[in-house]
């Protein structure tokens, strides 16, 4: 995953400078050129390797995490690193979840033998990795899961001197038993941005799980930056060139990607249905967590995604009535849903410079949203503010100059931005999946002035 909504470095041309240039703050915060202000942002593998390489080559001692972040067992060696004159390792961290539940996590390896892979037709079956996050009954004896799988992490850190950076751990515990809820728990699906992967919005996913949801994050193989399968095989981005034009609702590559993802989501829902009935799904060398059978309430399914993942949420809702509510975090729209619309609740959250006033696809979909609908705009946010980069780039800039960091994640405070997003996303799913009304969705709140309601 080298860029959100861009192919990995070297696999296609960079977008024109007019779509990358930061133009300074507007009324709601930073604005960017381009119709929707969705400037592609650097990701690990591009920014991490190149930027940290520059920092280390210059002999700069990298700063650690911001004050108040979780301490780790790796902090003790820092003093000895400094004493030896070497560069101290940088430990990145993700925000703690806010809910009452401890979190379990498990990876599923799914094979859809009913279709060939859309990006590599020579492959007779479509393979996916899906990460489940869920409330855990207990976590003793179950280690914390890393943010990225080992093979993907090694790929993203290729070229960075060993021991100079530590990617974050997640807050999910591998294989922990499931905490059951009477009638089963509501399920939320996550779809990542083009060129990203299932870990890219872990801070949002973990928070939903800590509040009682089961979340399934889907890796869309070959349009993801990198996906690791059991045994250590890593498949990398193969969906482009040509680079999609995300400002064009009819772009053929983006439209193909959304159609492939829509089929992925249907297959994942079918698999979760079978799993909930007690049919095992491949887990590589692991078994399903204890208590998974019957733990899901698949009459209460929601979905959200960032960027092209937001488009996938709308497309999947249009194609599959099992998805009762959906949310798009700063992504354009593609496919038949633009003509057909939706009859179930849908939420649009844009960055500072993105809304239906300058996004043709949002403007086209809005009058066709026949269920409850809501458009919000996060002041001070940029396109990648809706990913874990929102906090990680504030802990260390990875050698990027300040204007490039602001271009990627805006000028909003990182932890505050994540908290606002968590609060509104959970309020939306609480209302429409759990039937728990929230005054947050009725209008602006003095407690959350960063979130603007768009009439």
Q: What is the pLDDT of residues 94-122, one digit of tens each?
A: 999 999 999 999 999 999 999 999 999 99
Phi and psi of 214, rounded to 5°? -100, 125
Residues of the chain with pLDDT > 90: what percent? 71
Residue that has been written with the tokens 């993203």 in this structure? 156
Instruction: Confirm whether 7 is domain-assigned.
Output: no
Distinct helix (H) and strand (E) counts, the chain = 11, 17
Check: CB of residue 446 under 8 Å from CB of residue 80: no
Q: Report whether 257 contacts 223 (CB < 8 A).
A: yes
Mean pLDDT across the stretch 296-303? 98
**R_g of the chain computed on alpha carbons:** 21
Residues near 351 by beta carbon (within 8 Å), at least 6 away in sequence: 37, 38, 330, 377, 378, 381, 382, 383, 385, 386, 410
Residue 77 confidence (pLDDT): 35
Residue 10 belongs to a domain? no
Could you give the maximum distance between any two Cα atoms of the chain, in Å? 64
DSSP state of 84: T
pTM above 0.75, yes or no: yes
Q: Is residue 334 situated within a structural domain?
A: yes
Q: Please, are residues 68 and 381 in contact by the beta-carbon 8 Å criterion?
A: no
What is the mean predicted confidence (pLDDT) over 376-390? 97
Strand 90-91 versus strand 165-166 pairing type: parallel
Helix (H, G, I), strand (E, B) or coil at 114: coil
Question: pLDDT at position 155, please?
Answer: 86
Q: Is 216 inside any structural domain?
A: yes
Q: Residue 204 is encoded by which pair of tokens?
A: 């949002």
Comparing 157-161, 218-222, 398-402, the range with the smallest average pLDDT is: 157-161
**Tens digit of each residue's pLDDT (9 = 90 or more) over 3-54:** 334 333 333 333 333 333 233 333 344 333 333 434 343 343 444 433 333 3
Structural domain range at position 421: 17-453
10 by Cβ neighbours in 10 Å (0-12 / 13-18 / 19+) ranks as exposed
- pLDDT (mean) for 340-361: 97
Q: Is residue 396 part of a domain?
A: yes
| N-to-C CA span, the chain | 35
Q: Classify burial at 144, counting beta carbons within 10 Å of its beta carbon; exposed 0-12, middle 13-18, buried 19 or more.
A: middle
Residue pLDDT, tens place only, 144-189: 999 999 999 988 877 666 777 789 999 999 999 999 999 999 999 9
pLDDT tens by residue, 239-254: 988 989 999 999 999 9
Reported confidence tier of residue 89, pLDDT bands at 50, 70, 90: confident
Q: Per the domain annotation, does 343 fall within a domain?
A: yes
| Residues 50, 51, 53: CA angle, nearest 5 degrees | 65
Tokens of 72: 């780790």
The one-character DSSP state at 74 is T
Check which CATH number belongs to the domain holding 380 and give it: 3.40.50.1820
Among 5-19, 124-138, 370-384, the range scoring the smallest mean pLDDT is 5-19
What pLDDT, on the 0 to 100 scale, is given for residue 165?
75
Q: Do the domain assignments include residue 432? A: yes
pLDDT at position 85:
55
Tokens at 347, concatenated: 């939420």
Kind of pairing, strands 29-32 and 22-26?
A: antiparallel
Are residues 34 and 18 in contact, defined by beta-carbon separation less than 8 angstroms? yes
Query: Range with the lowest mean pLDDT among 74-83, 104-113, 191-200, 383-392?
Result: 74-83
Residue 273 placed within a domain: yes
CA distance 455 to 445: 15
Is 70 exceeded by the pLDDT of residue 64? Answer: no
DSSP-based three-state secondary structure for 340: helix
How many domains does the structure of the chain reveal? 1
| Tokens coding 32 | 């960017």
Burial degree of 327 (CB within 10 A; 0-12, 13-18, 19+) = buried
């Amino acid at each position: 995953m080298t860029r959100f909504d861009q192919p990995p470095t070297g696999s296609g041309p960079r977008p024109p400078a007019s779509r990358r240039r930061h133009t300074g703050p507007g009324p709601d915060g930073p604005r960017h050129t381009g119709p929707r202000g969705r400037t592609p942002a650097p990701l690990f593998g591009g920014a991490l390797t190149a930027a940290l390489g520059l920092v280390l080559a210059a002999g700069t001692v990298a700063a650690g995490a911001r004050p108040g972040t979780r301490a780790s067992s790796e902090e003790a060696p820092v003093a000895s690193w400094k004493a030896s004159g070497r560069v101290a390792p940088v430990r990145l961290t993700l925000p703690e979840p806010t809910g009452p539940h401890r979190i379990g996590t498990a990876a599923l390896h799914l094979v859809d033998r009913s279709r060939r892979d859309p990006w590599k037709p020579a492959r007779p079956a479509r393979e996916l990795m899906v990460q489940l996050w869920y409330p855990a009954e207990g976590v003793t004896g179950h280690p914390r899961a890393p943010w990225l799988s080992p093979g993907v992490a090694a790929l993203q850190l290729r070229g960075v001197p060993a021991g100079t950076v530590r990617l974050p751990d997640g807050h999910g515990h591998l294989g922990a038993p499931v905490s059951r809820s009477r009638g089963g728990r509501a399920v939320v699906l996550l779809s990542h941005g083009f060129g990203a992967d299932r870990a890219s919005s872990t801070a949002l996913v973990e928070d939903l799980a800590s509040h009682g949801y089961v979340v399934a994050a889907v890796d869309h193989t070959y349009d993801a930056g990198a996906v690791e399968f059991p045994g250590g095989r890593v498949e990398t981005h193969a969906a482009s060139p040509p680079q999609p034009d995300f400002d064009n609702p009819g772009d053929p590559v983006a439209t193909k990607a959304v159609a492939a993802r829509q089929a992925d989501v249907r297959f994942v829902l079918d698999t979760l249905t079978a799993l909930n009935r007690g049919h095992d799904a491949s887990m590589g060398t692991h078994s399903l967590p204890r208590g998974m059978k019957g733990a899901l309430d698949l009459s209460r399914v929601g979905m959200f995604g960032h960027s092209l993942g937001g488009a996938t949420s709308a497309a999947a809702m249009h194609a599959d009535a099992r998805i009762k509510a959906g949310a798009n975090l700063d992504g354009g729209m593609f496919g038949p849903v633009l003509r057909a619309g939706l009859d179930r609740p849908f939420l649009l959250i844009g960055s500072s410079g993105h809304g239906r006033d300058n996004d043709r696809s949002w403007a086209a979909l809005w009058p066709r949203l026949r269920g409850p609908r809501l458009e919000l705009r996060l002041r001070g946010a940029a396109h990648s503010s809706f990913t874990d980069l929102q906090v990680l780039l504030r802990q260390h800039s990875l050698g990027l100059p300040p204007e490039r960091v602001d271009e990627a994640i805006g000028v909003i405070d990182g932890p505050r931005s994540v908290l606002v997003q968590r609060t509104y996303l959970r309020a939306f799913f609480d209302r429409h999946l759990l039937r728990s009304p929230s005054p947050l969705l009725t209008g602006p709140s003095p407690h959350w002035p960063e979130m603007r309601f768009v009439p």
